[in-house]
Amino acid sequence: MMQATVIDSLIARGDLSHLVLFLWASGASAGAGWLLRELGAANRRFDDFVRELHRFNARHG
């Protein structure tokens, strides 16, 4: 496999710390992307709630 040869090469050259740093950065970036997507969804839900509240108040106010 391609991945196994790359990992073996990194380990053989003593660059394991670079591999770990890359994996950490990839995980952190994926987590930040997920967090931003969830924050956007929460913002849309809150906006929908406020819009419906405004419609309710306009009808019954």
What string of pLDDT tens digits covers the 61 residues of the chain?
A: 567 787 777 677 767 787 888 899 999 999 999 999 999 999 999 999 999 999 999 999 7
Nearest-angstrom CA–CA distance, 12 and 17 = 12
Q: Looking at residue 14, what is its pLDDT?
A: 67
Task: Report DSSP letters for 7-61, one per residue.
Answer: HHHHHHHT-HHHHHHHHHHHHHHHHHHHHHHHHHHHHHHHHHHHHHHHHHHHHH-
Q: Looking at residue 4, what is its pLDDT?
A: 77
Q: Quote the number of domains for the chain.
A: 1
Q: Looking at residue 25, what is its pLDDT?
A: 96
Nearest-angstrom CA–CA distance, 36 and 60 = 36
- Segments forming the whole domain that contains residue 7: 2-60
Q: What is the pTM of this model?
A: 0.64
